[in-house]
Each structure stands twice: as C-alpha cells, then as structure tokens.
Structure 1
Amino acid sequence: MLDFPNWQNWIEKPSSIIKKLRQKLDQMVGVEIKLAEARSGPPTGMALNLEIRGEDFNQMSEAVEEIKQKIKNIPGLVDLTDDFDRSRPELKVIIDRDKASRLGLRARDIANTVRTAFNGKKVSVFRDGTEEYDIWVQLDQSFRSNQSDLSSLFIYTPSGEPVRLSEIARVDSGPSYGSIRHVDTVRTITISADAFRMPGPVLVMKTKQVLNKLDLPQGVTYQFTGEDENRKESQIFIGQALIIAILLILVVMVAQFNSIALPLIVISSVLMSVMGVIIGLIVHDRPFGIIMTGVGTVALAGIVVNNAIVMLDYVIKLRKKGYQRNEAMILAAAVRFRPVVLTAVTTVLGLVPIAIGMDIDFSRESIILFGAASASFWKSMALAIMYGLGVTTLLTLFLLPALYSLVEGGKERLRGLFSSKEIVY
C-alpha cells in the first residue's frame, strides 16, 4: 500500500502513478497483480462482475475466454481476471470392482485406506495431566511422495491378506478443476474487472454492447452482479424514496390548500430541480451516482417545495384581500424575493466547502486545504443540491407565477362558461 500524506504537494495524482505502475507490472508473467486507488464511501466490489453460468465446464471455459478476449480492449478496463482454476493436478484411483469384490473389498474400504495413508486419520487422544494431544496415523512422507507409492500401497482384505492397490485398481493422473463454484445450485465462473478513469456504469454498458454481438454456446448464460447489481438495488430504493416523498408532500398540501391544482404546481418545482441537477453534473463532468446524487435529489425535493409553498401561500393571502390575480403574483414575487433568494444562497454557500473539497489539517496547525480526495464521495450530493436549488430558485420567481396564472385563468374561464348558461325547464 502506498500512502501520500501531503496530498496538497502532489506532483502526480495517485491515478497517474497507478497507470505507470500498471504499464511496468503488466510485463511480469505468471503473477496476478491488482492496482486500485482508495475510494471514499462504503466499500464496493469491482466495477465489472459478470457471472457465466451453465452445466458444461468446457463450454463455459470457452465462453469465458471468448468474452475476455473481446472486452479486454475496452478503454479504461483494467485488472481483468476470472475465478476459474484450470490447472490443478489430480490423481484418480479407478477400482476394478470385480477383482475387489472377489477379495471381499468394498470401494469404501479402499477409499478409507488411501485417505488414511495420505491425508492421515485421528485414531486416539493422549492425555498428559490436563493437556490433550491428538494421535494421528499417516504414512511417512518418504512413502507418499509420488504416484508409484500410491500404486504400491497395501490394502488388507477382511481375512487379513495384504493386496497391493495396483492389483485391484489403476491410478491415473491428469489436470482437474481446482474448485467448482455454484450460485443458486448452478455452476458459475465469474469474470471481474475494474474501471480506470471511467465510471463503473459506463464500463458495464460497453461490456453489454460487446456481449450482445457474441453467440454464446447453448446452455451458457450470463448475469451482471456485484457493483452493478447493488447499483440497481440502490436505484430502485432511491426511486421509491423520491416517489414516497412527493406523495407525502402532495397529501399535506392538498389538505392545506384544499385543492389539487395548487399542489401540482408546487410539485412542478421538483421537476425544475432535476433540470438543475443534470446541468450541474454536466458542467462538472460528474456521473449520476445513484447513492449520493440520488440522496441529494431526494433532499432537494424537500427544500425546493418550501420556496414554492411560501410563494403560493402569499399569493393566496393577497387574493383573499381583494388583489387581482396578476397584481397578487407580481407583489408576491417582489415581497418574497429576498427570503427565497437568501434561503437558497445560505444553503448553497453551506455546501461550497464540500463541493470544492475543502479540508482542515489539524495536524499542521489547522491549515485550510482545497481539493481533498476524501471529499470526492460527497461532491455529487453537494453539486446536486447546489445547482438544483439555484435553478429552481430562479424558475420559482418567474415560472411558478406563470403556472399559477394559467391554472387560475382556466378556472375563471370555466366558471364563466358555466355561469353564463341559462337553465330552461
């Protein structure tokens, strides 16, 4: 692990150093090396986690190699690997059941003898006062070091007659799978990779584009898991939270204003705030992080409706005092301009330290620093609230009165239309 304590004096950023190290270390053969920059926020897995599922390991292995060859050239994809262990040597004891049965030997007896000889078996416990020591039986290392030792192993029949293993079985050697991983009872090989200077969702999207062009063997399927799966779960949660927040706001305002149209006008400010969030992320070239940007958007919904409620509530009070519609809107915008703007400005200024990565180093006599790497996780939330609130504040003062005028004008025209009709009996 490399630590860069005085980050304000960096000549190169850690990402640049990692890139140079990766170029040099990738030349090493037979060694798997992963390089990653420390991330702020909750721990997450690798940006790309792709599970290849099926029943035939040969087909799955071919599919894994084909996929890795296709996606390895995606710009920004690094540390491409999989968890398929292909090269573990294995010795197989193939029993001749006819010969074994004639000697009264069962497969279980032969397996137990081989296991005891090579792996050992606990047969008793030696006690010395309060101490206990396990007693294991196992062949000496010199008698279990190669394949011929296994073939020469004596197996004792029920009558006590020794028989060499080679007389009742043959020993084959060959490669085997180091492990067989299952997910939901289905054989699975996982391909993993990380993203370098690229948002994880972008890497997943590019990988999906490559996979859509591949013709995988029949019975082999794939599924994106890991960070992508967590992102989808967070997206659903944030979406549900935003919908619940809007519904609760609507219920309260319908009860307060005794109207459905006015609460919908207020909720329109939430849509305006989303425009501001998108503008802020585009200006600062930030991805839409589901967690922090989503949390910022939900928090923003509660802030922006406050300004809209203040504005409309004052318009309604002026209308009750006898002011005309347009006159009431202009006066309300003028009177509420200062509190609405001051509320937005104080909120935005309070988030500026997070947005610019402001930090105080108490170990160096409270020196104020800017651009702290630890602030990057919170930056998306701060930008979402700052830009969303800024755009909504401006639109609230101009667009909200216009929407109110349209709604009220429509109501007045409808009332005039119905009141002008005569009822004839």
Structure 2
Amino acid sequence: DILKNTDGAIDIKSSLDNSEVEQRVSVNKDEAMKYGLTVAQVYQQISEKLKSETTSTTITSNSNDLAVVIKNNASETTIKDLKLLEIKGTKNNKDAKVKLNKIATITNATTPASINHKNQTRYMTVSASVDEDHNIGLISRDIQSKIDDYNTPNGYEVELTGENETINSTMKDLVLMILLAIVFIYLIMVAQFQSLLSPFIVMFTIPLAFTGGLLGLLVTRQILSVTSMLGFLILAGIVVNNGIVFVDYVNQLRLDGVDKRTALLETGRARIRPILMTAMTTILAMSTMALGVGMGSELSQGLSIVTIGGLLYATLLTLFIVPILYDIFHRREMKKIIIDDED
C-alpha cells in the first residue's frame, strides 16, 4: 500500500503474489500424547504415507549400479483417505492405532510458493520500478520516510534495499575517493611548491569547480547520479591545474624582485591565454558527450556536464579568487636564496 500511494512507483510486486493453496495438518499435542505420540512422529508417519517412491535396493548390470525404486499410489491419496489414516502409537503400554482426524485437523491454507531466509530470518520482498518521469533517489527518500512512520508488528522490521541501497553505497565510496584524491593533490603540490600555503590557495579552486558542476546539473535538469559523481572526481584533478599555473608564475615573478601587486596583475595578463586554452580544449572535447546523442549516452552525460560546468565556473573565478586569496595570505616578501660554492 505504501508503494501504491507513492508517485512514480510502478510494476509493484510481492513475493507472496505467487502463493499456493495447501492442505495444512495441525496436530493436537494433548490428544497425540494420549497415544504416546509427538508431533514429529505423527508427521513422519504421514510423510511415509505420502511418499510416492522408495529406493529398496541396488542391482548391478553391466558394471553399472541401478537403484530399484518401488512406486506406490500415494498420488491418488485424497483428503478423506488422509483423515482416516491410522497412526501407530501406544496406549496403556500396548500398541494402538488412532485415526489422524482424532488427533489432528486438516484445513486449506494459503502459503508462499517458497520461504526465503537471510541470516536465519524469514523475509519477503515487495518490489517496484520507477517510471521515466521520476528520480529513484527522490522516490526512495519518500518511501523511506513513509516506512519510518509505519508501525510494524512485534518481531517484524522493514528495510529499503535494491538499487537504492547500491547507489547509496557507491555514493559513499565515491565521496571517500574524492576526499582521498584531494589529500593526494595537496601533498603533491606541497612537494612542488615547497610550501604549505601556496597549495592551500590553489585548493580553493576545487570548491569553485564543485559549485560549477552542481550548477551545470541544475541548469540542464540532470540528477546527481553515480556517473555525475565521477565527474566531480575528475574535476578535483583537472581544475587545480589553472591555480598551479597562476600561483607558480606569481612566485617566479616575486623571486625575480617584482612586487606582489605587480606580479599578480602581470600573471593575470600573461597566463590568461594558456589557462583559457587548457580549459576550452577539455570543454570542447566533452561537449559531444554532454549533448547525449546516441544509445547509452545518458550514462556519461552527467559526467561530462559536471566537468564542463565545473571547468567553466572555476576557470572564470580562478582569475579573480586566486589573486585575492594570494594577496591575503602572502604577506611576507619572497627572496631568492643564493648559495656561494666558494663558501
């Protein structure tokens, strides 16, 4: 009922839909004990009666072992025959027989075609598909909120699994991968710049890129999917290139004796062309993927849109944000260290 009342959920199925009608034998323990019988003993005798085949022996023919199977007419046993089945037991320390209908009741009942277990616990599955006009993430969030408000009977629990569970697990792994990639990028730049401050300034381009990627998804009305998350992972490695080129050139000019403000302005003029060229080559290369033309293109469309949006946004703001941050954090003058070999 929860799924039926959720917009976007279609093809709702339950593992109980394929239920079957069976004859259920319920043994009265008290009556059975009068004949010295347990429930297991009663069922064992019923099973022997209903067994249609019995392997009696094995014969050898031409060096091959063949089983000799005795078949009976158990398949012709009716409910009436089953009720009148005589169960062997004891009464007053003597062998006795009692008809099954005296110690048990036989009723019709609906039962699942199969009983599923997970970690020794029975479970049933209710599944649904998502139509083309809805997002599986949003629908899953809606269903989860309804499940949280649903009061389950004692001993029961409801959990949301399937594709939504896989997506959430993959998303968490991707977030960890992105964080790890950012740490590695920072450490590599520390080794390059021989400083902790310059890489920190370059790292500010990553939030700009992520903001641009989200804006790209918003403008194109694309969902935040697993492939689009891969786009953010790619952005983390690409977008820092512009900041590295800018900061490195500023440091070179300042080491040559140029004052900080002049070095920033000169770097903006000298490095704007290579920065724009490197960004545009990537953007143009991924533009065909962003158009989503061809079969299966929707799988890579989110990745390309995030990459293009992040590069556009970060490239334009890098020319403004990075110089401002550099001016704020770099207060000391930079000087060359000259080592005289004679000394």
Q: 1:121-148: per-residue Cα shift (whole Å, max 9, x none)? A: 333334432444433344315632x211
Mapped to 2, the partners of 1:167 and 1:334 lie a distance apart of 99
Pairing of 1:15-414 with structure 2 (within 5 A): 68=1, 70-84=2-16, 87-92=20-25, 94=27, 96-101=31-36, 108=40, 110-120=42-52, 121-140=54-73, 143-144=76-77, 146-153=78-85, 163=97, 165-166=99-100, 169-178=103-112, 179-197=114-132, 198-289=134-225, 291-357=226-292, 371-408=293-330, 411-412=331-332
CA contact (8 A) 1:99 1:168 kept: no
2 CA distance for matches of 1:117 and 1:287? 61
Q: Deviations over 1:349-375 (max 9, x none)?
A: 221222223xxxxxxxxxxxxx32311
Q: 1:210 to 1:168 in 2, by over 3 A?
A: closer
Amino acid at match of 2:322: L
Residue identity opposite 1:330 in structure 2? L
Instruction: Give the SS at the match of 1:225.
Output: coil
CA separation of 1:225 and 1:106: change in aligned 2, threshold 3 A: closer
The answer (yes or no) to whether the contact 1:300–1:388 under 8 Å persists in 2 is yes
> Aligned letter for 2:104?
R
Structure 1 distance, partners of 2:153, 2:84, is 44
CA deviation vs aligned residue, 1:46-100 (integer Å, no higher than 9, x gap): xxxxxxxxxxxxxxxxxxxxxx1x4413221101222236654232152642453
Change (3 A) 1:128 1:117: farther
Q: Do the aligned partners of 1:89 and 1:174 also contact (CA within 8 Å) in 2?
A: yes
**What one-letter code is carried by the residue in structure 2 that aligns with 1:385?**
T
Asked if 2 retains the 8 angstrom alpha-carbon contact of 1:88 and 1:177, the reply is: yes
Q: Which one has the largest radius of gyration?
A: 2
Residue 135 of structure 1 aligns to a residue in which SS?
A: strand
Gaps in structure 2 of 5+ consecutive residues = 334-343
Aligned partners of 1:117 and 1:138 also within 8 Å:
no
Distance 1:149 1:324 in 2: 107
Whether contact under 8 Å (1:154, 1:162) holds in the other structure is no
Give the aligned residue type for 2:231: G
Amino acid at match of 2:109: P
Q: Deviations over 1:189-229 (max 9, x none)?
A: 33221111211111011213333444444554322222222
8 Å contact kept, 1:281–1:287: yes
Query: Which residue identity is paired with 2:256?
Result: K
Contact 2:213 2:232 in 1 (8 A): yes
Residue identity over aligned pairs, in percent, reads: 25
Alpha carbons of 1:278 and 1:330: their partners in 2 closer, same or farther (altered >3 Å)?
A: same
For the 8 Å contact 1:118–1:138, the answer to whether it is kept is: no
Using structure 1 for the length normalisation, give the TM-score: 0.68
Q: Tell me, what secondary structure is at the counterpart of 2:158?
A: strand
Tell me: CA distance 1:403–1:92, structure 2 relative to 1, closer, same or farther (3 Å): same
User: Is the 8 Å Cα contact of residues 289 and 300 (structure 2) preserved in structure 1?
Assistant: yes
- Contact 1:122 1:136 (8 Å CA) reproduced: yes
Q: Which residue of 1 aligns with 2:339?
A: none
In 2: Cα distance, 1:395 partner to 1:98 partner: 86
CA 1:89–1:75 in structure 2 vs 1: closer, same or farther (change >3 Å)? same
Letter in structure 1 aligned against 2:50: F
The secondary structure found in structure 2 opposite 1:78 is: strand
Which one-letter code corresponds to 2:223 in the other structure?
P
C-alpha separation between the residues in 1 aligned to 2:194 and 2:73? Answer: 90
Give structure 1 stretches of 5+ with no counterpart: 1-67, 358-370, 414-425
Aligned with 2:248: secondary structure?
helix
The 2-side partners of 1:113 and 1:210 are apart by 48
Write out per-residue CA displacement over residues 280-304 of structure 1, whole angstroms, 9 at most, x where no aligned residue: 1111111101x21111111110011
How many pairs were matched up? 323
Please give the TM-score of this superposition, normalised by the length of structure 2. Answer: 0.83
